């Protein structure tokens, strides 16, 4: 046998020994490649800084250190550049459920154009970009069509191994500092609390007493919410969404206790903005 024929013969033997590739596998491989998202910037703040005329909407971002780019809603008003990581609106009568387990809060759920939670794993990278300081803003709306906000001038969550512990800077705004507790009825601050879900209890109730009820897990008491519960604290934007008329006197509702202690909120947004750190601050 000539050398060329020998090589061809060996190649045919190798090809025959490979496992068959089904059309479905081929299709998945092609789709997998096509679905790879092209990033438009590190986050909404960078996109807005580069072009302040960028409209609000969905963009593909990739914060430094993130393994893959992902879609996020950018709030690009006059004070733009906010990456929205939570939105609740009641979903036109079909509210998105927020009683979810750890991996769902870690990965994210919902639709970034509507109700959603972007995911702790993404929020970690959004708040840990080198050379920047992240800020947090909460926009809150009640059933009387009033709106208020809370702003924190620095915001970080720790990594997954320490359960995404909440770190916040100075508060300003007109909704009150519910994260900080403001000594509200003796409630403890949620700053410094790890994130808890229905299946992961990292709160400080071991147990907590409320009236004649003793309980160990705030998430179970508060609508199955994933949140930075302390004892449990007075903020919980992940409780049950209630329609108008059924929105009063629930302890498991959507609440920001320093503004609306007894009425569930109608709509909320949580968003993060990064600002470049001045040389003196670094
Ligand atoms: Ca506990």
235 CA distance to ligand 1 middle (Å): 17
230 CA distance to ligand 1 middle (Å): 9
Please say whether the beta carbons of 48 and 80 come within 8 A.
yes
189 CA distance to ligand 1 middle (Å): 15
Whether the CA torsion 221, 223, 226, 228 is positive or negative: it is: negative
- According to DSSP, the β-strands at 155-157 and 166-168 are antiparallel
106 CA distance to ligand 1 middle (Å): 19
139 CA distance to ligand 1 middle (Å): 29
192 CA distance to ligand 1 middle (Å): 15
216 CA distance to ligand 1 middle (Å): 4
Please say whether the beta carbons of 268 and 236 come within 8 A.
no
Q: CA-CA-CA-CA torsion for 74, 80, 86, 90, nearest 10 degrees? A: -90
Position 77 scores a pLDDT of 86
Position 249 scores a pLDDT of 87
Please say whether the beta carbons of 26 and 5 come within 8 A.
no
Those residues whose C-beta lies under 8 Å from the C-beta of residue 153, and which sit 6 or more positions away, are 135, 169, 170, 172
Query: CA angle, 33 as apex, 32 and 35 as ends, to 5°?
Result: 65
28 CA distance to ligand 1 middle (Å): 43
Domains of the chain (ranges; CATH) run 44-276 (3.90.215.10)
Query: What DSSP line would sit under 178-208, residue for residue?
Result: TTT-TTGGGPPP-TTPPPBBTTB--SS-SSE
Position 68 scores a pLDDT of 93
**What is the residue-level pLDDT of the chain in tens, covering all 282 positions?**
555 556 565 555 554 455 444 444 444 444 445 568 899 999 999 999 999 999 999 999 999 999 999 999 999 988 889 999 999 999 998 999 999 999 999 999 999 999 999 999 999 999 999 999 999 999 999 999 999 999 999 999 999 999 999 999 999 999 999 999 876 677 789 999 999 999 999 999 999 998 899 999 999 999 999 999 999 999 999 999 999 999 998 989 999 999 998 999 999 999 999 999 976 665
232 CA distance to ligand 1 middle (Å): 9
Position 119 scores a pLDDT of 98
218 CA distance to ligand 1 middle (Å): 7
205 CA distance to ligand 1 middle (Å): 4
Position 278 scores a pLDDT of 77
Position 176 scores a pLDDT of 95
Q: Is the peptide bond before 207 cis (omega within 30 degrees of 0)?
A: yes
200 CA distance to ligand 1 middle (Å): 9
Output the pTM of the full model: 0.86
């Amino acid at each position: 046998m000539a050398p060329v024929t020998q090589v061809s013969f060996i190649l045919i033997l190798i090809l025959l020994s490979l496992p068959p590739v089904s059309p479905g596998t081929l299709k998945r491989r092609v789709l997998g490649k096509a679905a790879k998202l092209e990033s438009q910037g590190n986050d909404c703040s960078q996109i807005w800084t580069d072009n302040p005329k960028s409209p609000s909407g969905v963009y593909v971002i990739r914060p430094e250190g993130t393994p893959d780019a992902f879609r996020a809603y950018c709030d690009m008003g006059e004070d733009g550049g906010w990456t929205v990581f939570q939105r609740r609106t009641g979903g036109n009568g079909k509210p998105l459920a927020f009683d979810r387990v750890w991996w769902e809060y870690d990965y994210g759920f919902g639709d970034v154009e509507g109700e959603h939670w972007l995911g702790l794993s993404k929020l970690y990278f959004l708040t840990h970009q080198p050379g920047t300081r992240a800020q947090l803003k909460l926009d809150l709306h009640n059933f009387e069509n009033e709106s208020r906000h809370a702003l924190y001038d620095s915001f970080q969550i720790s990594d997954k191994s320490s359960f995404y512990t909440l770190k916040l800077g100075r508060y300003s705004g007109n909704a009150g500092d519910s994260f900080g507790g403001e000594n509200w009825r003796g409630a403890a601050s949620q700053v410094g609390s790890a994130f808890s879900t229905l299946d992961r209890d990292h709160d400080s109730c071991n147990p907590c007493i409320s009236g004649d009820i003793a309980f160990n897990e705030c998430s179970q008491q508060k609508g199955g919410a994933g949140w930075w519960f302390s004892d449990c604290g007075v903020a919980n934007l992940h409780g049950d969404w209630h329609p108008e008329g059924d929105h009063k006197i629930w302890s498991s509702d959507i609440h920001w206790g320093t503004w609306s202690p007894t009425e569930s909120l109608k709509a909320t947004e949580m968003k993060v903005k990064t600002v470049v750190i001045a040389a003196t601050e670094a």
